[in-house]
Amino acid sequence: MSSINYAEKIPNNVNLSEDRKLQRALESWQPHYIDWWKEMGPEGTSTSEIYLRTAISAEPDGWAQFGHVKMEDYRWGIFLAPPEQDRKVNFGAHKGQDAWQEVPGEYRSMLRRLITVQGDTEPASVEQQRLLGQCCPSLYDLRNLFQVNVEEGRHLWAMVYLLHAYFGKDGREEAEEMLARRSGDPDKPRILGAFNEKTADWLAFFMFTFITDRDGKYQLCALAESGFDPLSRSCRFMLTEEAHHMFVGESGVGRIIERACQVMKENRTDDVRKFGVIDLPTIQRYLNFHYSVTSDLYGAEVSTNAATSYNMGLKGRYEETKIGDDHQLEQTTYSVLHPVNGGFQAIEVPALNALNERLRLDWAEDVAKGVERWNKIIAKHGIDFKLTLPHLAFNRAIGHFSDIAVDPQGKVISTEEFARRRDEWLPSQSDLAYVQSLMGGAVHKPGQFANWIAPPPRGINNQSVDFDYVRFA
């Protein structure tokens, strides 16, 4: 069941050839996808050979195979994690019933919306990152960028498969729309705010994959709990790919920090820009930006929408089945921070209405652990500087903190003060211009790295750091 057939036009482990109608529909979407990839995928890559991993089986132990692949020959496919025997709906009003193999009619539009919103983020990030290859700091990093890009493309396939297979004409229309919206386009933007921001430089890319792909992880974990079994199985396989994206982000920022610290020590100065590396305060401002913009992706702190999709059994909590409660939450409350009289107050609200906030806090805790690992790099160099996460109310555009201005420490301030001091806390035009100035040309010599980033301690898949991860035609 779960071995993947690459002889088919669309590689898959869902027995696509047994459903001719579905196969034809997906085969007619495929050229539109390829056109989108050519237009909006990573620029200038069609003829290079890239050392990529490709899924060969969806079993936990054997899915990845590595080899040089021409980007234009890359095979996107449909891979679901193996089914779980006798799987049940594990939460909400239908708890204990058999998991659904078909869409429950009354939940159709809610489910379609959840799948569409998730699906839309996948091509969006490819669009955001499409020019970064032109200023890659090494072949190793270029390869990682492309790996992330092809897998986000595959995640789009994962959601489009569900739309085509289970939502008929409406689903096919949504699948077309996925290729029509464009990140940052004023007329046809991507659905969620963070996916319309620019990813203009590699520090932004690494912050994005560390922080925003981690939002992806938590959203996928919540959808992997779904009572709609095909969605659960799709998301479980996507999660195995997501882990690498977050590794790229965390290790990338870590290597920029490492390089900054080396230069600070060698030259006994904090003023490292004149040596062409990125100073720690700028890294802090990027962190503040990506953290606050990504916080918004979880939606309003108190939300009846989240309660509804939980009650319906469509979207669960992070690690739902490991939580020791009744999984229905009708009688429980959850403490949520509210803005009250110029300060903050924790207020108990019905737990069902606090599910967005709960998922956001699970994510925030995970982000904080990564930041602590970055601080260990700084401490190892004996440098007295600590990166910190801003207060959750800082720089928010969605939810009940969006009406107030807050500094990174969580002090409520006037909007005038926020505007005046904004550049202390968020990347200024001159920060962005400085980082951009480092993104001169691409480094294409195996084993060489741009001056502003340290080499990784080891290569990909046991290859050496100076391996030719990308071969140009």
Binding site for Fe ion (CB under 5 A): 122, 152, 155, 213, 216, 242, 245
> How many CB atoms neighbour CB 342 within 10 A?
9
By C-beta, is 90 or 147 nearer to Fe ion? 147
- CB of residue 202 vs Fe ion: minimum separation in angstroms? 16
Q: Decide if 313 contacts 106 (C-beta within 8 A).
A: no
By C-beta, is 213 or 357 nearer to Fe ion? 213
- CB of residue 341 vs Fe ion: minimum separation in angstroms? 40
By C-beta, is 115 or 312 nearer to Fe ion? 115
Contacts of 158 (CB under 8 A, 6+ apart): 78, 79, 119, 234, 235, 237, 238
Structure tokens at 215: 């939002």
Quote the CA–CA distance of 37 and 399 in Å, as a whole number. 34
Quote the CA–CA distance of 114 and 110 in Å, as a whole number. 6
- CB of residue 245 vs Fe ion: minimum separation in angstroms? 4
- CB of residue 175 vs Fe ion: minimum separation in angstroms? 16
Tokens 């949504």, residue?
A: 174
By C-beta, is 163 or 351 nearer to Fe ion? 163
Structure tokens at 9: 């036009």
By C-beta, is 127 or 152 nearer to Fe ion? 152
- CB of residue 163 vs Fe ion: minimum separation in angstroms? 16
- 473: β partners: none
- CB of residue 155 vs Fe ion: minimum separation in angstroms? 4
By C-beta, is 250 or 407 nearer to Fe ion? 250
Where does 166-238 show beta strands of DSSP type E?
none
Quote the CA–CA distance of 164 and 170 in Å, as a whole number. 9
- CB of residue 7 vs Fe ion: minimum separation in angstroms? 26
Q: Decide if 454 contacts 316 (C-beta within 8 A).
A: no
Where helices occur in 225-338 by DSSP H, the ranges are 229-267, 280-295, 304-311
> How many CB atoms neighbour CB 87 within 10 A?
15
- The DSSP line for 95-135 is TTSBPBSS--GGGHHHHHHHHHHHHHHHHHHHHHTTTGGGG
Tell me how many degrees the CA angle 125-112-9 measures, rounded to the nearest 5. Answer: 65
By C-beta, is 241 or 301 nearer to Fe ion? 241
By C-beta, is 213 or 296 nearer to Fe ion? 213
Structure tokens at 428: 């200024």
Q: Decide if 137 contacts 452 (C-beta within 8 A).
A: yes
- CB of residue 72 vs Fe ion: minimum separation in angstroms? 21
- CB of residue 148 vs Fe ion: minimum separation in angstroms? 6
By C-beta, is 23 or 212 nearer to Fe ion? 212
Q: Decide if 411 contacts 343 (C-beta within 8 A).
A: no
